[in-house]
Amino acid sequence: MAKARITYHGVGKRYGRLWALRSVDLEFNAGEVVMLIGPNASGKTTLIKCLLGLVRPTEGHIAVNGQVIGTDPAYRTDIGYMPQISQFPATLTIGQLLEMMADIRKLGSDEREDSLVEELGLTAQLDKRLSTLSGGTKQKVSAVLALRTRPDILVMDEPTAGLDPVSARRVLDRAVGLRDAGGTVLITSHLMEEVEAMADRVAYLEDGVLKFLLPVQEILESTGSSRLSQALPRLLEADTCTMSYDS
Amino acid sequence: MLKVFKYTLIDLARNRFVLGYALLMFLVAQGLFVMEGDPTKALLSLVQVVMALVPLVALIFTVVYMYDTLEFTQLLAVQPMGRKSILGGQLLALAVALLIAQGLGLGLPLMVHSPDLSSLILSVSGSALVLVFAALGALIALKQREKARGVGVALVIWFVFVLLYDALLMWGMFTFSDYPIEPWVVPFAGLNPVDLARIMVMLQVDLAAMMGYSGAIYKNFFSSTGGMLVAGTIMLLWIAVPVLLALRVFQRKDL
């Protein structure tokens, strides 16, 4: 049986009168990639933010490696996060930003995975100010920040948005590499091709409710489809989508 | 906290707004001293400029900076670091950057043209106003989700403290001049950090007489050691309370 690295116990989040997340119970395991999908405003980002400690659940709790997360930020040592939109201090250079984050995490040079800097073509740009970078280059910086700590848990929010295809592939390959090394990778995406290619399981959220969390293969087989883009609508239409959340 | 402080300060050191503020203060101060032959008169004009400009700049800059760096603050908040360290480091860097800009822009001309205690009091009062209004700016930015609304609230606060409060106080003093209101004047003036700063400088320049009826009351109270202590304590509270509230709000805020 797979080992649960992250556990959501009845997690709900309310903003004013609107429930963005309702009674979510689920587990993410070590050594898997889970794609979080769903329509806009379905609760994907809130689900992630609750784990990252950016948002406090209104109800329920989350455990990482068996420890319920609270106000102690220490558990975030194991987490790498690549946000959808990357905004950095305008006048710092890429090099200064990387140094700052290494400083904050107390990372020695031997503890950093800096090969991605080279791989994404950032080496020659380390002295460039962050305000002068294109959106795509900012995403590359963001990917480096998320991956260079070799985290046990990697959270990526629309990671390929704005990236060129080659860089996108390299970043996703790194994520898969982390999974293969026993990491837990959570990715939100609207691109079904990406999901299908790398996900072990797919979590579908709608109106803050987790509709299902199933292995990709099971989704395809149960709907008789060859592609996720065809399978998901069928699955959602069918009553069977009140399914178990087990892997 | 020191790491956030260090890199935020590096970022702010090259911020155009901060550099522009230093230059503006320098030009205004230098201009007043050069154009006005009498340093005391120049200082008096400078007091009025400082009391209006410093709160406005500190408020608006802090509010705008906090909104503009929100995504980066989120990125910091997912690092293994407490939120108090993040906001503490950012606020400290903002305060230090503005104080350095003000020190260069205002302090240098004061040191050159009017190197006396009055100038020192003006510098200290101006610095205290930077801290007070930067703290209020942070609190506003954390309480208001939208940037436009945050800036609007900041402008209202500036208007109240710099203009409206005085107008209401004057109106009250005239309206109730037949009654023994002296005991109320000092506390009411002292509650406004801008008034408090202005009074301290005016008393030092010995221009309390120009402040008329209220000037005599202020002089009686604030020129005493006890009065100075009360004034310092109120100013410290104006800095500490918004900072503590901002830390509390940030600790619980959904980012």
Kindly list the residues from chain B whose CB atom is less than 8 angstroms away from the CB atom of residue A52: 77-78
Q: What is the pLDDT of residues A9-40, one digit of tens each?
A: 999 999 988 999 999 999 999 999 999 988 88
Token pair, residue A154, equals 């990697």
CB-nearest to B80 from A54, A74, A103 is A74
> Above pLDDT 70, what percent of chain B?
95
Q: Say yes or no: A90 contacts chain B, CB-CB below 8 A.
A: yes
Q: Phi/psi at B115 (nearest 5 deg)?
A: -80, 75
The stretch A218-232 carries a mean pLDDT of 84
- Taking 90 as the threshold, does the pLDDT of residue B237 lie above it? yes
Mutate to test the interface with A, among B75, B90, B250 (most CBs of A within 10 A): B75
The stretch A61-84 carries a mean pLDDT of 90
CB-nearest to A54 from B4, B69, B255 is B255
Rounded mean pLDDT of chain B? 87
Residue B147 pLDDT grade (very low, low, confident, very high; cuts 50, 70, 90): very high
Q: Say yes or no: A126 contacts chain B, CB-CB below 8 A.
A: no
Could you tell me which chain B residue has the CA closest to the CA of A151? Answer: B79
CB-nearest to A90 from B7, B11, B255 is B11
ipTM greater than 0.95: no
DSSP-derived pairing of the beta strands A184-188 and A18-29 = unpaired
Q: Are B46 and B114 in contact (CB under 8 A)?
A: no
Top-ranked range on mean pLDDT: pick from A129-138, B8-17, B125-134: B125-134
- Taking 80 as the threshold, does the pLDDT of residue B90 lie above it? yes
- Taking 80 as the threshold, does the pLDDT of residue B105 lie above it? yes
> Above pLDDT 90, what percent of chain A?
45
Q: Are B181 and B170 in contact (CB under 8 A)?
A: no
Q: Say yes or no: A77 contacts chain B, CB-CB below 8 A.
A: yes
Token pair, residue A22, equals 């309702």
Using the beta-carbon criterion (under 8 Å), do A73 and B15 form an inter-chain contact? no
- Taking 80 as the threshold, does the pLDDT of residue B173 lie above it? no
- Taking 70 as the threshold, does the pLDDT of residue A87 lie above it? yes
Comparison of pLDDT for B130 and B218, the residue scoring more: B130
User: Looking at CA atoms only, how far is residue B100 from chain A in angstroms?
Assistant: 18
- Taking 80 as the threshold, does the pLDDT of residue A150 lie above it? yes
- Taking 70 as the threshold, does the pLDDT of residue B207 lie above it? no
Mutate to test the interface with B, among A51, A55, A82, A91 (most CBs of B within 10 A): A91
Kindly list the residues from chain A whose CB atom is less than 8 angstroms away from the CB atom of residue B10: 91-92, 96
Q: What is the pTM of this model?
A: 0.84
Residue in the structure block whose two tokens are 């784990």: A51
Residues 6 or more apart whose CB falls under 8 angstroms from that of B4 comprise A104, B76, B81, B85, B86, B88, B89, B90, B93
- Taking 70 as the threshold, does the pLDDT of residue A242 lie above it? no
Comparison of pLDDT for A247 and A223, the residue scoring more: A223
Q: Are A207 and A43 in contact (CB under 8 A)?
A: yes
Kindly list the residues from chain B whose CB atom is less than 8 angstroms away from the CB atom of residue A83: 71, 74-75
CB-nearest to A76 from B4, B71, B80 is B80
Q: Of A151-155, A159-163, A192-196, B80-84, where does mean pLDDT reach its minimum?
A: A192-196
**pLDDT at residue B172 in the model:** 82
- Radius of gyration (Cα) for chain B, nearest Å? 19
- Taking 90 as the threshold, does the pLDDT of residue B99 lie above it? yes
Using the beta-carbon criterion (under 8 Å), do B77 and A86 form an inter-chain contact? no
- Taking 90 as the threshold, does the pLDDT of residue A219 lie above it? no
CB-nearest to B7 from A86, A87, A100 is A100
**From CA B17, how far away is CA B57, in angstroms rounded?**
9
Three-state SS for chain B is: CHHHHHHHHHHHHCCHHHHHHHHHHHHHHHHHHHHCCCHHHHHHHHHHHHHHHHHHHHHHHHHHHHHHCHHHHHHHHCCCCCHHHHHHHHHHHHHHHHHHHHHHHHHHHHHHHCCCHHHHHHHHHHHHHHHHHHHHHHHHHHHCCCHHHHHHHHHHHHHHHHHHHHHHHHHHHHHCCCCCCHHHHHHHHHCCHHHHHHHHHHHHHCCHHHHHHHHHHHHHHHCCHHHHHHHHHHHHHHHHHHHHHHHHHHHHCCC
User: Looking at CA atoms only, how far is residue B20 from chain A in angstroms?
Assistant: 15
**pLDDT at residue A3 in the model:** 72
The stretch A215-237 carries a mean pLDDT of 84
Q: Say yes or no: A169 contacts chain B, CB-CB below 8 A.
A: no
User: Looking at CA atoms only, how far is residue B27 from chain A in angstroms?
Assistant: 25
Could you tell me which chain B residue has the CA closest to the CA of A76? Answer: B80
End-to-end CA distance of chain A: 10
Using the beta-carbon criterion (under 8 Å), do B15 and A91 form an inter-chain contact? yes
Comparison of pLDDT for A55 and B213, the residue scoring more: A55
Using the beta-carbon criterion (under 8 Å), do B80 and A77 form an inter-chain contact? yes
Using the beta-carbon criterion (under 8 Å), do B254 and A79 form an inter-chain contact? no
**Within a 10 A sphere around the Cβ of B70, how many other Cβ atoms?**
15
**pLDDT at residue B101 in the model:** 94
- Taking 50 as the threshold, does the pLDDT of residue A246 lie above it? no
Q: How far is CA A245 from the centre of its chain?
A: 19
Q: Among positive and negative, which fits the CA dihedral A69, A72, A76, A82? A: positive
If we measure between CA atoms, which residue out of B123, B125, B54, B130 comes closest to residue B91? B130
**pLDDT at residue A228 in the model:** 82
User: Looking at CA atoms only, how far is residue B50 from chain A in angstroms?
Assistant: 28
**From CA B192, how far away is CA B195, in angstroms rounded?**
5
Q: Say yes or no: A14 contacts chain B, CB-CB below 8 A.
A: no
Burial of A91 (0-12, 13-18, 19+ CB in 10 A): middle
Comparison of pLDDT for A216 and B133, the residue scoring more: B133
- Taking 60 as the threshold, does the pLDDT of residue B213 lie above it? no
**pLDDT at residue B251 in the model:** 92
- Taking 50 as the threshold, does the pLDDT of residue A247 lie above it? no
**pLDDT at residue A152 in the model:** 93
Q: Of A242-246, B33-37, B175-179, where does mean pLDDT reach its minimum?
A: A242-246
Residue B48 pLDDT grade (very low, low, confident, very high; cuts 50, 70, 90): confident
End-to-end CA distance of chain B: 19
Q: Say yes or no: A56 contacts chain B, CB-CB below 8 A.
A: yes
Q: Which residues of B14-43 are buried (b: 16+ CB within 10 A; e: fewer)?
A: ebebbbebbebbbebbbebbeebeebeebb
